[in-house]
Structure 1
Amino acid sequence: MANKLFRDLSANTVQTGITQLSGLLIFYLLSRFIPKDQFGDFQWTTAVGSTLITIGSLGLDMVLVKRIAAGNKPVRIAGIHFFHTLIVSTVVLAGLLLTLFLFPHLQLLHPLFLLIVLQQALGNIANSFKFSLTGFQSFRQLAIISILFNLGKAGIIAGLFFSHTLSVRNVALGFLVASLIELAGGYAYLHRKLRGKLRPVYAPRTYRSFVSESLPQLGVVLFDSALARIDWILLGIFSTTSVTAEYTFAYKFFELSKLPLLILAPVLLTRLSALTSQSGILPEGQKTQINQFVRLEIALSFCIPIVLACIWTPFIDKLTDGKFGAVNQLNFELLALCVPLHFAVNFLWTLAFVQGKLRTIMYITIISSLLNLGLNAILIPQLGGTGAAIAFLASSIFQVAAYYFTTDQSQLKLHPGSMLWQFVLSIVSVKAGMYLTGSAYVAALVAFVVYVTGSVVSGQLPLQQLKALKRN
């Protein structure tokens, strides 16, 4: 029998790869051919809308995945979550309409606000179906939905570009159409998975239990949503739309650098949720398998930032006609340092989550969010986007340290010494590449080879263990 873990990873790799490629194409066309101030406003409005929707989720998403993965009344839980997202989307849209009615000047300042939030509300409902499918470990179906959604978006934007009708309003309308495609696909697959029993369910007692379990997650959601986009929002308030555009451009490539994490994170969460629901002790084989994947995950997390740090200025300036390259070099380098830190945070957060340490997660998230908020408020007026990047790096370092000292790692463990060695090796690799050649592209190749070679020789890249893992 084929190893299901590898099948799930393969499906998740395909859908994540297509998602990132289509997202990168869309992002490039918008950043390159739309005026910088309009692009900055589009990014700011999107950040505000997504924050509102995320807060409305109340932290139920991960509890939904955990319960379904553990086989806990999946039909009922999926229906309750479906009902919840319908209510949240309706309330957010109604609240926005009321706000625009009371403060009509906001519509003049941000003309796409309503359209963008409508698209995000539809995406919120679609996410209910996708999270349920994640709990079922239906990664193949998730891959198909993601491919349809992202190819639809990319096709619409490409059509607008070649027809010379590319504008922020038409882009927002195109995203709305793509979200309808995602919503239909998610509903169809989950409806089939639940054998035609998918419908919104209002069951007060079960719903209260659902919310009660996720209550510690509410604090996490409130502050984590601020942590994720508060820098964008504050840049729009304390700085200019052009500076906001520059920082969000660098941040997009930071997110692209976390590509392996997007592939591995949902698979790791569902595996650990299912295993820990069966017994308190992981089988040795499963423990070894997960540790090997986490070790590989950390090692790979440095690769993309190393290459991008070397080629950033010439490559991005050429792509964007000088708009986002040199001006963003330092911003990206600071954000690139956060990539391996976020891999470590994801692993430790997953351990804490499946161990039921929701209060610990809440406290860490609240403190790191307040730290990020305070540093942003202090640094953005002085340093603009660089101040936002410094604040984000500081809060990321805090999260790694906090999770490391509060998470039970008796079975699965993060090795800080190994991570420190990887940081040193990556910095040496970049410096060596730049010192040995005057070409940024050759420097990137040299840095990559030096890093991979050093990782294999030092045993940080477990090639032999991976071969054994594939045979299991």
Structure 2
Amino acid sequence: MVHKIATVIGKLSPGLRQVIDNISWLLVERLFQMGLALVVGIWVARYLQPKDYGLLTYAMTFVSLFSAIAQLGLGTIVIRDIARDPSSKDETLGTAFVLQFIGGIVTLVVTVGTISLLKPDEILTRWLVCIVATGTIVNAFNTIDYWFQSQLKVKYLVVANNLVSAVYAVLRIVLIRLQMTVIAFAWAGLAETALRGLARSIAYSINGNHLSRWRFSWHRAKTLLQECWILVLSGLAVYVYSKIDQVMLGSLLSDTTQLGYYSVAVKLSEIFDFLPMIIYQSVFPKLSSLKEKNPEDYLNKFQVYFDTMTLLWIGIAVPISFLSPYIVNILYGKSYAATAPILSLYVWAQFGTNFGVARSAYLAVEKKLHYSLYSSVFGALTNIAINAILIPRFGAIGATIATIMTYFMVIIALNFYLRELRPVGKMILRSLNLYKAMTRLLGLVR
């Protein structure tokens, strides 16, 4: 069996083998962390119970609405630029780090100020939001990830991240055994973010690089900001239309229990979201370079990319949807039984993630990122409107329906309305022919 696999891999091009090797390492990382999440994360949810778990989720989701300010949408641009010109890494990474550090400070101020206005009498909620938002400053060290992704060298990064995840898991277990309150888990999350930044720095140095060589350039900052401002606005809109359901559940309903049920369904549905992300991280640099070298082959490879996203979506949604009652009962217990019908429906919304990530890659390579902004703003407005109607009447189920409707309009239908996005719409339609999609995918190894 091993010999057959080696023979098949040997037939692949060096570039494709590098992509597969990168995916393999990222897969190891995600599977390890997913295992920890299933054991420790579920233990935390059981310990906190739906109400407190919903409150912690509300704080984390609220901060995520503003996190695009801290990230500045630089990831895709920095990875693309370093992949094309590796010699520019120190200036590009140094500039990106400073910009994201400043963005984190702005995010903290804006987030804490907003939650203070919205919930002036809820001290615990404000503290949770403040602690979680502080992590956006430390997340400036995520800049290091961009170099590893641009070079398809993630081995050291995977080891570092897994070590931190193990420490974080032990820390949360200790908090449970000590019967600590919900705010202690927020502090633990901040500590994990700081440790992850330290681990990334060590991995970067071990790989022969030096943070001391990073340098900030006003000219480079101006260039990055000129292109990334669209991604910042787009990121804000994306978080609104993908996370506003949880914020509105926590705001429109007096009890956070419904949010606790819903957040568990979302977490279980998104447990395999690392797959489209690691595929994106591994193929994006190759697609960027292929665009310049061989435009025809570039489009063929993009079609295979969409085929992969479709097969991945169907392969995950079907079993989770049918087995949702058993999954929820075994993992979370009877206190979360109301999560099962939400999960069976919500998991089908994952086409939004799969196709959305693939479309973002296409727009980044084609330098049409402004369409990400248009679609995200449209999605944000649509999702807010539908949630405002459905949540007061149907609670978590209403939020689930709103998510599916929004994703369909933004990720699918909009491609056929806007002329520049029609190539994406065609690739999605072709990928829905599962037989041909599988044939094209298998054609890579023949």
Q: 1:391 to 1:362 in 2, by over 3 A?
A: same
Q: Which of 31, 35, 42 is the matching residue for 1:28?
A: 42
2:191 paired residue number: 177
Q: 1:52 to 1:201 in 2, by over 3 A?
A: farther
Cα-to-partner distance string for 1:268-287 (whole Å, 9 max, x where unaligned): 222222323x34x4363x66
2:226 paired residue number: 212
The alpha carbon displacement at 1:459 in A equals: 4.9
Counting aligned pairs with the same residue, the percent is: 17
Q: 1:67 to 1:108 in 2, by over 3 A?
A: same
Count of paired positions: 427
Counterpart AA for 2:108 = L
What secondary structure is seen at the aligned counterpart in 1 of 2:268? helix
Asked if 1:105 is matched to 2:121, the reply is: yes
Q: 1:194 to 1:50 in 2, by over 3 A?
A: farther
Q: 1:49 to 1:418 in 2, by over 3 A?
A: closer
2:5 paired residue number: none
Q: TM-score, normalised by structure 2?
A: 0.86
Counterpart AA for 2:123 = Q
2:295 paired residue number: 282
2:312 paired residue number: 300
Asked if 1:223 is matched to 2:237, the reply is: yes
Asked if 1:310 is matched to 2:318, the reply is: no
Cα-to-partner distance string for 1:397-443 (whole Å, 9 max, x where unaligned): 11222235544677996141542x55xxxxxxxxxxxxxxxxxxxxx
Q: Which of 257, 261, 268 is the matching residue for 2:276?
A: 261
2:377 paired residue number: 366
**Matching of residues 126-165 of structure 1 within 5 Å:** 126-161=141-176, 163-165=177-179
Q: Is the 8 A contact 1:289 1:469 kept in 2?
A: no
Q: TM-score, normalised by structure 1?
A: 0.81
Q: Is the 8 A contact 1:82 1:128 kept in 2?
A: yes
Q: Distance in 1 between matches of 2:128 and 2:236?
A: 24
Q: 1:406 to 1:70 in 2, by over 3 A?
A: farther
Q: Any unmatched runs of 5+ in structure 1?
A: 423-457
**Matching of residues 52-451 of structure 1 within 5 Å:** 52-71=66-85, 73-95=88-110, 105-122=121-138, 124-161=139-176, 163-191=177-205, 195-198=209-212, 201-239=215-253, 240-276=255-291, 278-279=292-293, 281-282=294-295, 284=297, 288=300, 291-325=303-337, 327-398=338-409, 399-403=411-415, 406-407=419-420, 414-416=427-429, 418-419=431-432
Q: Distance in 1 between matches of 2:287 and 2:296?
A: 11
Q: Distance in 2 between matches of 1:117 and 1:246?
A: 24
What RMSD over aligned residues (CA atoms) do the two structures have, in Å?
2.9
Q: Distance in 1 between matches of 2:276 and 2:116?
A: 42
Counterpart AA for 1:222 = L
Q: 1:225 to 1:465 in 2, by over 3 A?
A: closer
What secondary structure is seen at the aligned counterpart in 1 of 2:335? coil
1:40 paired residue number: 54
Q: Distance in 2 between matches of 1:95 and 1:204?
A: 25
Counterpart AA for 2:329 = D
Q: Distance in 2 between matches of 1:411 and 1:313?
A: 35
Counterpart AA for 1:469 = L
Cα-to-partner distance string for 1:363-414 (whole Å, 9 max, x where unaligned): 1111111111111122111111111111111111112222355446779961
2:444 paired residue number: 469
The alpha carbon displacement at 1:211 in A equals: 0.2
Q: Is the 8 A contact 2:69 2:107 kept in 1?
A: no
Counterpart AA for 1:461 = M
Greater Cα shift, 177-186 or 335-344:
335-344
Counterpart AA for 1:352 = L
The alpha carbon displacement at 1:356 in A equals: 0.6
Q: Distance in 2 between matches of 1:343 and 1:101?
A: 35
The alpha carbon displacement at 1:346 in A equals: 2.1
1:431 paired residue number: none
Q: Distance in 1 between matches of 2:48 and 2:426?
A: 46
The alpha carbon displacement at 1:95 in A equals: 5.0
The alpha carbon displacement at 1:288 in A equals: 4.9
The alpha carbon displacement at 1:7 in A equals: 0.6
Q: Is the 8 A contact 1:38 1:168 kept in 2?
A: yes
Q: 1:315 to 1:181 in 2, by over 3 A?
A: same
Q: Distance in 2 between matches of 1:61 and 1:55?
A: 13
Cα-to-partner distance string for 1:70-93 (whole Å, 9 max, x where unaligned): 226221110011101221223333
Q: 1:202 to 1:387 in 2, by over 3 A?
A: same
Greater Cα shift, 198-207 or 330-339:
198-207
Q: Which of 2, 7, 10 is the matching residue for 2:24?
A: 10
What secondary structure is seen at the aligned counterpart in 2 of 1:302? helix
Q: Distance in 2 between matches of 1:96 and 1:465?
A: 44
Q: 1:210 to 1:293 in 2, by over 3 A?
A: closer
The alpha carbon displacement at 1:305 in A equals: 1.7
What secondary structure is seen at the aligned counterpart in 1 of 2:334? coil
Q: Is the 8 A contact 1:66 1:270 kept in 2?
A: yes
Q: Any unmatched runs of 5+ in structure 2?
A: 1-9
Q: Is the 8 A contact 1:78 1:198 kept in 2?
A: no
Q: 1:259 to 1:96 in 2, by over 3 A?
A: closer
Structure with higher helix content: 2
Q: Distance in 1 between matches of 2:358 and 2:46?
A: 36
The alpha carbon displacement at 1:184 in A equals: 0.7
